[in-house]
Structure formats: C-alpha cells, structure tokens
C-alpha cells in the first residue's frame, strides 16, 4: 500500500505529524519556499521540495496517496489551489486522504459560549473569513477525500510562554470574560494520524484540549512552574498590542472536542494547559 504524504507548507504542525508517520514506514515530502528551510526539513527525515518557484511538484503529486495542506490563505485565496487546482481536481479520486488545517476562528465570537462542528461559521476577523473561504474552495472539488481540522491556539516545543516569563516581558492581559481554547502540537499530530487511519471524507474536526481558559491564567501558571513572580495584570484597554494580537482578543469562545474522541478514539496526551506546560518544562 502506498503511504506517501505530500505536505504543502510543511510547518510546525506538519513536522509533528511527520515525526509520527516516518517511523511507521511513511514517505513524507514537505514543501517550503526557502532553500535554507529545505535543509532543516531534510534533517527531520522529510524529503524537502522547494515550491513554488523551484522544483516541479507535479511528479510528486502523482506519487502522493495523501495530502496535508498547512499553507494559509491570503487575500488572493488559497495558494495551493491557486497554483494546482486543476492538477489536484484531476487526481482527486486517486487520493486516499486530504487534510486541511483550518482554525477555530471560522466560528467567530460567541461571548465565551460553547461551539462545536455544527455551529454555523461566522468569522468576525479577516483571517477567519479567509479560512472559511478556503475551506469552501477545498470542499468544492468533486471526489476529493477532504478532512478539515479546525485548530485552536497551538503551543508545544519552542512555542510557549516560558521564554517571555523568564525575560520578564510576559503580561497578563485582562479582558473580562475572555477565554481561549488551545492545543498541544503533539495532540494535533495524533488527531491527524488517527484520521488518516480512519478516513471519513467530508468531516470537520475541532482540535483543542478540554479546558478553555483565560489567557492570564496560563501565564500565571507558567510563572508558578518556573518559580518566578506572576507577571502584573494589564487591562486590555491599556495594553500595547499588535493588530494581530489584538484581533485574537476580539473573539471569545469555548470549543468542544467530542468528535475527535468519539469518532477517532483520540485520548488527549495533554487534556489541559497544565499538563502541557509541565511537560514542556520537563523536556526543556
């Protein structure tokens, strides 16, 4: 059986999946725009492909049994579909699994209430709208075995609050009622691997942990683990933030993850940020 994954925009989450698949005998090919990043990818056991404006992707697309799309859309649309819509559509029936990494931002703002995969998509940010449009564009390809994964805030090795807490630059930004869902990158990888093993084309999955929490609690817990003072609280009205950072605070919701457990049998390694942060500190 052909087990070849072509990973478009081979980034943080895709690397975690590759680390699961390669020991199982998979061939993983990852695209990147940078020759320097291609060398980094190569060191992880993944075959790098500089694309676009580099290697020819069509022979690799012919060889692939599975696709993973991590590349984010821009105002001009989804970059993979812009370049390869016809080629992917022509090969749709030959693919066994296609995974598209989206975001829980497609649900918009729910004032801290719960959402699940049946919740209508109503993004309130441009980034969320672009993801909603990209989901629809991928869904529109006939016979494509598409699976959509709506990821909450991602953390993991190299991505967490510890460095800012150590440097004294972390802030506990306070917005009344604000909660975020989040997910450890290793749990993303196990969800994707479980879906590959149990394809259900057309299905969307929320990928998040069990404990949506105010962001200031996560910062405080990280400081406690480090044995450092808890950073001061800063009301959001007084906080200096980039437009991107501020946009995250424009939405508040709790995301349900029952489907990954019930349909895929996933048991989260890090069911809350507490286990996840403790594990990161121990590994670091």
Please state, in angstroms and rounded to a whole number, the distance separating the CA atoms of residues 40 and 25. Answer: 20
Element at 220 (helix H, strand E)? helix 215-226
Instruction: Please compute the mean of the pLDDT values over residues 124-131 and round it to a whole number.
Output: 94
* Beta carbons of 213 and 179 less than 8 angstroms apart: yes
Residue 147, helix vs strand vs coil: strand
pLDDT over 90 (residue 53): no
Domains located in the chain, CATH noted = 4-155+182-209+255-270 (3.40.50.720)
pLDDT over 80 (residue 108): yes
Average pLDDT taken over every residue of the chain:
95
Give the number of other CB atoms < 10 A from CB of residue 59: 9
Phi and psi torsions of 88, nearest 5°: -70, -40
CA distances from 88 to 84, 141, 148, 232 (A): 6, 9, 17, 51
190-221 pLDDT, tens digit each = 999 999 999 999 999 999 999 999 999 999 99
Q: What is the reported pLDDT for 284?
A: 64
3-state secondary structure 223-242: HHHHCCCCCCEEEHHHCCCC
- Greater confidence (6 vs 53) lies with 6
Please enumerate in sequence order all residues whose Cβ is within 8 A of that of 109, keeping only pairs 6 or more positions apart, or say none. 124, 250, 251, 252, 253
227-265 pLDDT, tens digit each = 999 999 999 999 988 888 888 898 999 999 999 999 999
First to last CA, the chain: 38
Question: Which residue carries 């917005």 as its tokens?
Answer: 175
18-40 pLDDT, tens digit each = 999 999 999 999 999 999 999 99
Q: DSSP string covering 31-95, please? A: EES-HHHHHHHHTTTPEEEETTTTS--HHHHHH-SEEEE-PPPBTTB-HHHHHHHHHHHHHGGG-
* Beta carbons of 192 and 5 less than 8 angstroms apart: no
Please state, in angstroms and rounded to a whole number, the distance separating the CA atoms of residues 90 and 86. Answer: 6
Q: What is the reported pLDDT for 246?
A: 84
Burial class of residue 51 in the structure, from the number of CB atoms within 10 Å of its CB (0-12 exposed, 13-18 middle, 19+ buried): buried
Please state, in angstroms and rounded to a whole number, the distance separating the CA atoms of residues 117 and 112. Answer: 16
Please enumerate in sequence order all residues whose Cβ is within 8 A of that of 254, keeping only pairs 6 or more positions apart, or say none. 110, 112, 113, 114, 115, 179, 181, 212
Please state, in angstroms and rounded to a whole number, the distance separating the CA atoms of residues 133 and 139. Answer: 10
């Amino acid at each position: 059986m052909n087990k070849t994954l072509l990973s478009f925009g081979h980034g943080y989450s895709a690397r975690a999946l590759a680390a699961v698949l390669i020991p199982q005998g998979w061939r993983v090919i990852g695209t990147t725009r940078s020759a320097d990043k291609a060398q980094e990818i190569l060191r992880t056991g993944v075959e790098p492909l500089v694309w676009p404006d580099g290697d020819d992707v069509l022979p690799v697309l012919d060889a692939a049994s599975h696709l993973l799309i991590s590349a984010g859309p821009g105002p001009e649309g989804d970059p993979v579909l812009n370049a390869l819509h016809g080629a992917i559509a022509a090969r749709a029936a030959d693919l066994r699994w296609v995974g598209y990494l989206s975001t829980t931002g497609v649900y918009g703002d729910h004032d801290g209430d719960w959402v699940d995969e049946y919740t209508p998509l109503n993004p309130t940010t441009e980034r969320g709208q672009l993801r909603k449009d990209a989901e629809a564009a991928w869904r529109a390809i006939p016979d494509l075995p598409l699976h959509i994964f709506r990821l909450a805030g991602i953390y993991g090795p190299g991505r967490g609050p510890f460095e800012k807490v150590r440097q004294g630059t972390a802030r506990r930004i306070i917005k009344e009622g604000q909660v975020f869902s989040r997910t450890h990158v290793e749990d993303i990888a196990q969800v994707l691997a479980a879906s590959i093993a149990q394809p259900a084309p057309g299905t969307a999955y929320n990928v998040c942990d069990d404990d949506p929490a105010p962001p200031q609690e996560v910062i405080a817990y990280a400081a406690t683990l480090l044995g450092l003072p808890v950073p001061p609280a800063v009301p959001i009205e007084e906080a200096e933030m980039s437009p991107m950072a501020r946009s995250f605070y424009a939405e508040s919701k709790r995301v349900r993850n029952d489907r990954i457990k019930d349909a895929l049998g996933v048991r989260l390694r890090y069911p809350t940020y507490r286990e996840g942060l403790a594990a990161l500190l121990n590994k670091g």
